[in-house]
């Protein structure tokens, strides 16, 4: 088993156990999600793939698009299914190996999944593959900023491992993003810690 597969196995097991408590974290993330969905809902009707859809806490924000959500945690998906009704197709699937054809989606949403996934580069490669030409990818995540918060991220590393995410997470190290065209980069919290990035596939 590769290191990435092992990491994904641990992450899945963590989220299976943690699904009950995730709504507590989500309360804190809501203001930035409102900014994300303000952008998504401005765009013309299309089909969206949300990778790492989790417990479906984002589903109520989508106003007009067709939604497919995938996740590796069955427990998170079970919670999402209770909310989704007819609104979304939800599938147990690894974002690093998507079971969709090339050019299947108009939009891909990565909301707090990149710093959690075993191999974020594979998630981005797969997102690129399944996006239609001209399609957009929305990335909402924390990124280690170039200010004193980087020391906090650094010191938090041992704890963050236990919670299955990378506290030290640099945007400029994500090589696959170079394949996309950056449309906007918005700080969605103080001190540039959380960012919303919107890219287009050429």
CB atoms inside a 10 Å sphere around CB 148: 8
Question: Mask of contacts with ligand SAM, 66-85, x by CB under 6 A?
Answer: ----xxxx--x---------
CA angle 41, 46, 50 (to 5 degrees): 75
| Minimum CB distance to ligand SAM, residue 188 (Å) | 12
Surface-to-core class of residue 50, CB atoms within 10 Å of its CB (0-12 exposed, 13-18 middle, 19+ buried): buried
Q: Does residue number 196 form part of the binding site for ligand SAM (CB under 6 A)?
A: no
Which stretch in 47-55, 141-149, 152-160, 172-180 sits in contact with ligand SAM by CB under 6 A? 47-55
Choose among 47, 176, 180, 62: nearest CA to 104. 47
48: three-class secondary structure by DSSP: strand
| Minimum CB distance to ligand SAM, residue 177 (Å) | 17
Which stretch in 49-57, 82-90, 145-153, 179-187 sits in contact with ligand SAM by CB under 6 A? 49-57
Q: Does residue number 113 form part of the binding site for ligand SAM (CB under 6 A)?
A: yes
Backbone Cα Rg of the chain: 16
Q: Does residue number 106 form part of the binding site for ligand SAM (CB under 6 A)?
A: no
Residue pair 76/12 in contact by the 8 Å Cβ criterion? no
Residues at the interface with ligand SAM (CB under 6 A): 8, 11-12, 15, 26, 51-54, 57-58, 70-73, 76, 94-96, 111-113, 116-118
């Amino acid at each position: 088993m590769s290191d990435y597969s092992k990491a994904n196995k641990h992450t899945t097991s963590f989220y299976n156990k943690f699904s009950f408590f995730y709504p507590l974290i989500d309360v804190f993330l809501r203001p930035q999600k409102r900014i994300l969905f303000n952008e998504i809902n401005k765009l013309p009707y299309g089909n969206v793939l949300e990778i790492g859809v989790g417990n479906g806490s984002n589903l109520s924000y989508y106003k007009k698009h067709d939604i497919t959500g995938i996740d590796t945690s069955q427990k998170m998906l079970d919670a999402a299914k209770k909310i989704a009704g007819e609104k979304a197709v939800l599938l147990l699937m690894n974002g690093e190996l998507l079971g969709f054809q090339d050019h299947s989606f108009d939009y891909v949403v990565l909301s707090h999944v990149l710093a959690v996934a075993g191999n974020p580069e594979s998630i981005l490669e797969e997102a690129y593959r399944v996006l239609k030409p001209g399609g957009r990818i929305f990335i909402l995540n924390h990124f280690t900023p170039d200010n004193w918060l980087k020391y906090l991220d650094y010191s938090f590393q041992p704890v963050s491992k236990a919670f299955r995410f990378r506290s030290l997470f640099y945007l400029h190290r994500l090589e696959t993003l170079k394949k996309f065209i950056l449309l906007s980069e918005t700080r969605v919290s103080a001190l540039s810690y959380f960012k919303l990035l919107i890219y287009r596939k050429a």
